[in-house]
Amino acid sequence: MHMDIVEIRGFYHSLLGQIATRSIGMGLTRIWQPLPNERLLGLGYARPWLDRFEPDTERTLSFMLAAQGAVKWPPNGPSRSALVFDEELPLPDSAIDRILMVHALEHAENPRETLMEAWRVLAPNGKIVLVVPNRRGLWARFEHTPFGTGRPFSKGQIFKLLREANFTPGPMTEALAFPPVKSPTLLRVAFRTERIGLRFWPIFSGVIIIEAQKRLFQGLPVAERQSRRVFVPVLAPQGAARDADAS
C-alpha cells in the first residue's frame, strides 16, 4: 500500500505534517555538510526540504515516483520536477553530487536496484541521504501518515542494503520521536517530546536518517538487467483488415 501524491501533499499541509517536516529538517541539518556548487536531486517526495537546501546548490532537481504521481516544484518559476521510474533515472552517469531520498526506498520494487541506480548517477565521492521509516517506530504502525505505508527498515537492513549497492554508510540520526497524533493539543508539546525521545528512546523514533558515500574501488558482479516495464501506446492504430477476395 502507498499514498498517491495528493494524499502525501495533503499530509504535509496538515499540522502534523508541518511538525514532521520541521522534525526531519532538524535531523537532516545534523548530518548535512554543505558542498560547493552542489548538484542536488530530491527523489521521491523530498520537496518539503528542498527549499531549505536549494539556495546553497548550483542546481536542484525534484524527481517523483511514477507510482505516486508528481507535482510542480518549485511553486514559482520554471518547473524542475519530473515523473520517473526509480530504477531508470533519466540522467547520465555521474550527473549528481547528492541525492536526498524520501518516501522512495520503502516503496521500491527492488530497493537494491534503486540504490544501484542512485550509485550510477552520483558523481565520484557523491553522497546519498536516506530518510526511511523505522521498523521499531510508532509511525510505521499508523497508516494515516506516509511513513505508515510501504516497507519499514531496521538500521541493520539499511546498512546491509547500502553496502550491497557499493555505498559506505556514514553519519546517522533519527527524527519523529513523538507519536503521530492528530490532536492539536498534544501536538503543542511535540517538540518537547521530540527532544526527550531523541535522548532517551531514539531506537523507537519514526524515521532513520542516514548519509552514505559512493564507493568507487570495489569490484561488483555485473549482470545484464532487463527492464521489467513494457510500454504500450495509449492509442495503437489497428490496420484495416484486408479483404481475402480482393484481387
Say if strands 207-214 and 122-133 run parallel, antiparallel, or are unpaired: antiparallel
- Of the two residues 227 and 182, the one the predictor is more confident about is 182
pLDDT digit string, tens, across residues 190-232: 999 999 999 999 999 999 999 999 998 655 555 555 555 554 4
Torsion of CA 14, 19, 25, 31, to 10 degrees: -140
Q: Is the pLDDT of residue 244 over 60?
A: no
Ramachandran angles phi, psi of 238, nearest 5°: -100, 120
What would the mean pLDDT of 145-155 be, rounded to a whole number?
94
What would the mean pLDDT of 82-107 be, rounded to a whole number?
95
Its pTM stands at 0.86
Ramachandran angles phi, psi of 37, nearest 5°: 50, 45
* Residue found under cell 527492464: 227
Q: What is the pLDDT of residue 235?
A: 47
Domains parsed from the chain with CATH numbers: 5-214 (3.40.50.150)
Closest C-alpha among 186, 192, 35 to residue 122: 35
Closest C-alpha among 141, 137, 148 to residue 17: 148
pLDDT digit string, tens, across residues 114-140: 999 999 999 998 999 999 999 999 999
